Each structure stands twice: as C-alpha cells, then as structure tokens.
C-alpha cells in the first residue's frame, strides 16, 4: 500500500479558498495536473496512487473517469470564481499517473478541452501526457497532437531487461524507439524518464540505458535515482533480503556518468535530475512546482496548491467520484502554510534548479551573519558557486545560490545548511 497522506485540517465541502490565498494570485502562474490512477500492473517501486483495475463497480471506473475529471474541473472553476481568485489562463497542463494512456486518446483530449473551455490556456503553453511505451499507438499520438497536446513523456526507466524485471516494468524495451519516432513524426516534443540505482544494477548496465536514451534523440531526459518508499513491494523485497541496494559511491558514479554522456550529447541540466536539449524543451510544468507556483490537481489523491493553501483529494476513486458527481469538493484535507513554512519550502525547492535560489530569499529567513558563515563554508567545500557572496565575502542580495556539480551530488547537505529552523509546535 502507498504511504498515508498527511492529516491536515478538514477541507470545506464547498472548496472555498481563504482570502489570504485568493489575494495576490494574479501575479502567479496557474497550472493544471490531471491524475489518471489506472495501470495494467503496479510496479514494485511505485508508491503513487494507482490501481491495476478498470472497474470499481457502482458505475465507477476507466470508462467513466473522463466525466469525473471534467466534473472536478468545472467545480474548480466555480470555486475559484466564488472565492474571488483572479481568473488566469493555464500556464501548463500535465496528465500523470498511473498510466494516462490507459484512457483512450479521445478522453484525454476531452478532459483537456474542458480545461481550455473553463480556464483558457496561454498561447504556446506546454501540455504533456505521460505514457507507457506499450500503451500508446501511432494513431493515439497523432490524435493527442491534433487535440492540443504538445509533449509526451515516456517511462523508459532502463533498456536492460533484468533491471526492468526488478522494477516490475512490463514494457518491451524495443517499443521505446518506435513510440518516440511516432511522437516525433506527430510533431510532439518527447521526454524520456530513466531510473538508476535499481538493486543489482551495474554501472555498465546504466551506461547502456543512458546511451540508448541519447540515441533516440528526445528533447528532454530525466535521470532519477531510485527511492525505495515504505509500503511498496520493492521495500518488502529489500527488507526480506531478496535484493540489495547499491552503495552511495556507485550511485554517485551513475549520476556522474549520466552528466558526462548527456552533456557531451548536447543536453544541459536545468534541475538536479533533468536535462533538456535547449531552454525551450525544459519541462515548464515541473519548473512551476520547483518555483512554488499555483496548480490545481484533478483526480483521486491529487494535490493542489494555491498561494499558500494546499489540499489533497480523497485517494480512492469511488468516494472521489461520489463527491465530484455531487458537486462537492473531493478534498480529504488541507493546510494553510504560514510565512516561515512557505519560505522553507521555497528554499528547499529552488536550490534544485540551475537558475539558483535568490539570496534575498535566504536573507528573509536567516540572520545575515549566520547566512554569511553558511555560504562561505559551502563555497569552501566546493558545493555552491562563489557568486553568492560580495567582494567583501558577505551575502549578495542581488545574487543567487547555484549548485556546483559536487553540490548536486551532495544536494541534501547543501539544503540542510541553508534551511531555516521552523517551530512546528505553535
């Protein structure tokens, strides 16, 4: 089972947004995330809110899901208007899962069209769907492009069958270059996701996967280290001793190998785990998360954030569907973030991106002398670029804190050094 959601406070059934969050939204980007909770098989490492079934009974399942998602989109539009939130066209739209392409392409397009009708979409906005290489056809990809999608992200993970088997990934590796070619033919931008550090994976196997991904010439490549979450099948297998995780030195070597090969192939990092062929092919949707902007999450278990108010939906599709069909908020709970917590999260997120974290954000949360000492130590350790300090070795409020390559390897240490203390007892 997936980990439990945070407890939070009761969420109002009418979804009302507090005035403290409604004010000032007009200056923030607004995105839409659409969660599709269906999969053919649940992967052993996955802790997302997904279900390997298509019919939950009670008239709820894959065949009715598009209508339920559209019902929440309509509810969101009504709620934002009633709460006095400034109307904003969507900055990005992202369909994730699960496996979004378990839904027919026409249903994905129908959901997107409903969002466009009620919110509007910015000209040139990035509109992405994730896809399993075995669950999408050439016709699907052309239909998605015609229906307004601009980008597709394929879950490749590895090119090595033994590694895919450990992860419980069921797709055929030979299908990856085929679906990428179809997507490119349709005129979609293409991203591929890789995972390194699977139990038993060798550096040579990881090299094969990186080289294969590059050879397909996608616009964007994500290279994530495997994180084994409590409650997953893989966590249980490791606990029993069926598998052993690679050590930290091998994980670092894998990251450095990806950095070398991707950079040599013309890709540039713009977030610790993400590389793009140009600034125009970065994931605008993920950057919105890292920049702590606003988004509404559609679907069971989806999380939303609006200018300091965060909420999350009921996890199971059945109670979720009952709520949205009744015209009520499907939120299970919510929390309103105070200023220190928002500063804390901004620091934690923005330190990951290449553009860096503005020093002024740190000065708002730290004593200047203590911050100066931290920055000087991080620079001495080779973890951040020296530009964060003035010529007098003091924090430069006009500069940014940017990670070096060594800093990306030791990002948790940098984050711990820069995060302010937050008293959660009051």
pLDDT in tens, 2-17: 445 666 888 999 999 9
Question: Which of 138-147, 148-157, 168-177, 400-409 is predicted with the least confidence, judged by mean pLDDT?
Answer: 168-177
169 within 8 A of 207, measured Cβ to Cβ: no
Per-residue model confidence (pLDDT) at position 188: 98
Q: How far apart are CA 223 and CA 207, in angstroms?
A: 12
Per-residue model confidence (pLDDT) at position 3: 46
Q: Are residues 232 and 103 in the same domain?
A: yes
% of the chain surpassing 90 pLDDT: 82
Find residue 357's DSSP bridge partners.
401
Residue 203 lies in a domain: yes
Could you say which of 260, 291, 322 is where a domain stops? 291
Could you say which of 251, 270, 291 is where a domain stops? 291
Question: Which of 166-180, 245-259, 285-299, 387-401 is predicted with the least confidence, judged by mean pLDDT?
Answer: 166-180
Could you say which of 256, 291, 326 is where a domain stops? 291
Q: Are residues 379 and 247 in the same domain?
A: no
Q: How far apart are CA 36 and CA 101, in angstroms?
A: 9
Q: How far apart are CA 148 and CA 155, in angstroms?
A: 21
258 within 8 A of 212, measured Cβ to Cβ: no
Q: Are residues 379 and 281 in the same domain?
A: no
Task: Give the Å distances, CA to CA, from 410 to 109, 328, 373.
Answer: 41, 44, 19
The separation between the first and the last C-alpha atoms of the chain, rounded to the nearest angstrom, is: 32
Q: How far apart are CA 191 and CA 270, in angstroms?
A: 14
Residue 318 lies in a domain: no
Statement: residue 246 has pLDDT above 90:
no
Q: Are residues 284 and 402 in the same domain?
A: no
Per-residue model confidence (pLDDT) at position 194: 97
Give just the sign of the alpha carbon dihedral 363, 366, 369, 373: negative
Residue 391 lies in a domain: yes
| Average predicted confidence (pLDDT) for the chain | 93
**Domain harbouring 226, CATH code:** 3.20.20.70
Cα–chain center distance at 46: 14
Residue 217 lies in a domain: yes
What digits encode the pLDDT tens for the residues 339-391? 889 888 999 999 999 999 999 999 988 999 999 999 999 999 999 999 999 99
Residue 251 lies in a domain: yes
Q: To which H or E segment does residue 372 belong?
A: helix 368-380
Task: Give the Å distances, CA to CA, from 288 to 266, 326, 380, 387.
Answer: 24, 31, 31, 25
Per-residue model confidence (pLDDT) at position 4: 56
122 within 8 A of 91, measured Cβ to Cβ: yes
Q: Does the model's pTM come out above 0.85?
A: yes
Per-residue model confidence (pLDDT) at position 423: 47
The structure tokens listed for 99 are 């496996």
The structure tokens listed for 116 are 């466009």
The structure tokens listed for 381 are 């350790």
Overall average pLDDT of the 257-268 stretch: 98
Per-residue model confidence (pLDDT) at position 229: 79
Q: Are residues 360 and 250 in the same domain?
A: no
What digits encode the pLDDT tens for the residues 41-73? 877 777 788 898 999 999 999 999 999 999 999
Q: Are residues 207 and 346 in the same domain?
A: no
Q: Are residues 260 and 353 in the same domain?
A: no
Q: How far apart are CA 84 and CA 251, in angstroms?
A: 48
132 within 8 A of 175, measured Cβ to Cβ: no
Overall average pLDDT of the 198-205 stretch: 95
Statement: residue 231 has pLDDT above 90:
no
| pLDDT band, residue 1 (cuts 50/70/90) | very low
The structure tokens listed for 248 are 């930290």
Q: How many domains does the chain have?
A: 2
Per-residue model confidence (pLDDT) at position 425: 43
**Domain harbouring 371, CATH code:** 1.10.10
Cα dihedral value 371, 373, 375, 376, nearest 10: 160
Residue 344 lies in a domain: yes
Other C-beta atoms lying within 10 Å of the C-beta of residue 9 = 10
Per the structure, the complete domain to which residue 183 belongs is given by 9-291
Q: Are residues 94 and 155 in the same domain?
A: yes
What digits encode the pLDDT tens for the residues 108-125? 999 999 999 999 999 999
Q: How far apart are CA 378 and CA 351, in angstroms?
A: 13
Q: Are residues 279 and 397 in the same domain?
A: no
Give just the sign of the alpha carbon dihedral 69, 75, 79, 81: positive
Q: To which H or E segment does residue 124 belong?
A: strand 121-131
Other C-beta atoms lying within 10 Å of the C-beta of residue 329 = 22
Q: Are residues 265 and 373 in the same domain?
A: no
Residue indicated by tokens 């040599």 = 264
Residue 46 lies in a domain: yes
Q: Are residues 31 and 122 in the same domain?
A: yes
Q: To which H or E segment does residue 331 belong?
A: strand 331-336
Statement: residue 426 has pLDDT above 60:
no
Per-residue model confidence (pLDDT) at position 171: 82
Residue 325 lies in a domain: no
The structure tokens listed for 92 are 């990005």
Q: Are residues 343 and 216 in the same domain?
A: no
Per-residue model confidence (pLDDT) at position 365: 87
């Amino acid at each position: 089972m997936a980990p439990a959601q945070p407890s939070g406070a009761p969420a109002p059934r009418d979804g009302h947004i507090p005035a403290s969050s409604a004010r000032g939204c007009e200056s923030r980007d607004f995105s839409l995330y659409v969660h599709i909770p269906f999969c053919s098989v649940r992967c052993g490492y996955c802790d997302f809110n997904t279900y390997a079934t298509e019919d939950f009974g009670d008239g709820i399942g894959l065949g009715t899901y598009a209508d339920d998602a559209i019902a929440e989109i309509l509810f969101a539009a009504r709620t934002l208007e009633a709460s006095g939130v400034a109307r904003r066209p969507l900055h990005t739209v992202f369909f994730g899962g699960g496996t979004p392409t378990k839904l027919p392409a026409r249903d994905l397009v129908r959901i997107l069209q409903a969002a466009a009708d009620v919110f509007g979409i910015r000209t040139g906005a990035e509109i992405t769907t994730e896809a399993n290489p075995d669950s999408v056809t050439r016709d699907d990809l052309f239909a998605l492009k015609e229906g307004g999608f601009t980008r597709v992200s394929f879950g490749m993970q590895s090119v090595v069958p033994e590694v895919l088997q450990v992860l419980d990934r069921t797709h055929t590796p030979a299908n990856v270059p085929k679906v990428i070619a179809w997507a490119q033919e349709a005129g979609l931008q293409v991203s591929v996701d890789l995972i390194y550090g699977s139990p038993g994976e060798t550096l040579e196997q990881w090299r094969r996967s990186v080289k294969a991904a590059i050879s397909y010439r996608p616009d964007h490549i994500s290279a994530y280290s495997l994180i084994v979450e409590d409650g997953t099948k893989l966590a249980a297998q490791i606990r029993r001793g069926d598998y052993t995780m690679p050590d930290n030195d091998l994980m670092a070597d894998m990251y450095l190998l990806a950095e070398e090969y991707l950079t040599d192939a013309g890709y540039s990092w713009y977030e610790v785990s993400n590389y793009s062929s140009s600034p125009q092919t970065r994931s605008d949707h993920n950057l919105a998360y890292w920049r702590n902007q606003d988004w509404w999450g559609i679907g069971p278990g989806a999380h939303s954030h609006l200018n300091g108010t965060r909420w999350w939906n009921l996890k199971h599709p059945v109670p979720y569907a009952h709520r949205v069909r009744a015209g009520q908020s499907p939120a299970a709970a919510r929390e309103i973030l105070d200023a220190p917590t928002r500063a804390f999260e901004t620091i934690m997120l923005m330190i990951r991106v290449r553009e860096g974290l503005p020093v002024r954000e740190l000065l708002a949360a730290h004593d200047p002398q203590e911050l100066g000492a931290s920055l000087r130590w991080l620079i001495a350790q080779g973890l951040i670029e020296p530009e964060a300090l003035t010529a007098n070795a003091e924090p430069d409020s006009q500069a940014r804190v940017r990670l070096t390559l060594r800093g990306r390897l030791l990002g948790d240490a940098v984050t711990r050094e820069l995060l302010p203390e937050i008293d959660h007892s009051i």
